[in-house]
Amino acid sequence: MKKFSYLAVMATFLSTGLTAQETLPEVNKAFSDIGLNVKAVADSAVPGMLQVHTDKGLFFISDNQQYLFEGNIYDLKNKKLVNEDILKDIRKAGVKEYTDSAIEFKAADEKYVVHVFTDTSCGYCRKLHNEMADLNKAGITVRYLAFPRGGVQSATFDELQSIWCAKDTQQAMTDGKAGKAVKQASCKNTVAQQYELGQSFGITGTPALILPDGRLIPGYQPAAALAAALSQNAP
C-alpha cells in the first residue's frame, strides 16, 4: 500500500496517548492472535478503552486487553458517532494516495469529488454507473477504486485488473458494468492495494462512497440524492 500522508495520519493517531503507546506490543499480539493486523492504536474517547485501527477496520479494546468491541459507539453528550469521527480523516488521507491510479469520470463543472469502491459484478454498482451522466452534470466527479467482493482469488479481481490495465480504462469499466466481456490485460497495478485499503476502512460491500469530508455512505445512492447530500454538507 502507498504511504506518505496516510502515514502522517497514522502517526497522529498513534501519538494521542501514552497508555496506547505503552500497551502497543500487547495489543499487537492480542489482535494478531485473532488474525488482525494493527495499523494504529490510540486512547479512545471512552474511558478504559483503546481504539485500534486494523487492516479490517476499527475496533475497541479494554485497557487490560481482555475485551474486544466491534461495532459503533455513539457519543450521547456530543451527539456524534465516535467511529465515524475517528475514520473520516483516515479515509480522506487513504483515498488521496490513489488519486493517480483511480479510474476517473470527471465532471466538466466539478464541484465535488467522490471516491467509489466498486465491483463490476455488483448490481447496484452497475445502477450507479448508469447514472454517471447525471452525476457529472450535477458537478460530481467520480473516482473508482477497486473492491472485488470475492477477494483476490476471484474472477472479478482478475476482471478489475484487466480494466485497470486497459488502454481505455473508462470504456473498459463501462463495458464491465454493462456485463460485456473485458479484454484480458496485465500490467503493474494497485487493484489489490485498493481492496486492502477498503477493508481497512471497514468496507464489506459495494458500492461504498467516500465523500469529500471522509464520510462513508455504504450502498447505492441515486444521483439526485447524492447531489443533495453533498450540497447540504458543503463547507
What's the pLDDT band for 11 if we cut at 50, 70, 90? Answer: very low
Q: What number is the average pLDDT over the span 211-221? A: 93
pLDDT at 3 over 80: no
CATH, domain 5-95, list 3.10.450.70, 1.10.357.10, 3.40.640.10, 3.30.1390.10: 3.10.450.70
The SS3 assignment for 97 reads coil
215 close to 84: Cβ distance less than 8 angstroms? yes
Distances (CA, A) of 222 to 41, 120, 130, 209: 37, 18, 10, 12
The 10s digit of each residue's pLDDT in 65-89 is 888 888 889 989 989 888 888 899 8
Q: Three-state SS for 196?
A: helix
Query: pTM for the full model?
Result: 0.83
Domain extents in the chain: 5-95, 100-232
Residue 200 pLDDT > 60, yes or no? yes
Please give the helix or strand (H or E) that residue 11 lies within, else none: helix 5-14
pLDDT tens-digit readout, 117-174:
999 999 999 999 999 999 999 999 999 999 999 999 999 999 999 999 999 999 999 9
Phi-psi region of 200 (alpha: psi -120 to 50; beta: other; left: phi over 0): alpha
Confidence band of 24 (pLDDT split at 50, 70, 90): confident
In terms of pLDDT, which residue wins out, 134 or 5?
A: 134
**Grid cell of 41 as nine digits:** 492504536
The phi and psi torsions of 59 (rounded to 5 degrees) equal -135, 165
**Sequence letter at residue 119:** D
In this prediction, residue 16 carries a pLDDT of 42
- Residue 118, SS3 per DSSP: strand
CATH class of 100-232: alpha beta
pLDDT of residue 7: 41
pLDDT exceeds 70 at position 4: no
Whole-number average pLDDT of the chain? 88
Beta carbons within 8 Å of 177's beta carbon, 6+ residues apart: 120, 125, 126, 129, 130
pLDDT of residue 22: 61
Q: 196 vs 6, which has greater pLDDT?
A: 196
Give me the residue label for grid cell 456524534.
80
Residue 34 has pLDDT above 80, yes or no: yes
Q: Give the tens place of pLDDT for each residue, 37-69.
A: 999 888 888 888 899 999 999 999 988 888 888
DSSP letters spanning 17-62: -HHHHHTHHHHHHHHHHTT--EEEEEE-SSTTEEEEEETTEEEEEE
Q: Which residues are catalytic?
A: 119, 122, 125, 149
Band of the pLDDT at 17, cuts 50, 70, 90?
very low
pLDDT at position 13 is 42
Quick: pLDDT tens for 92-128: 999 999 999 999 999 999 999 999 999 999 999 999 9
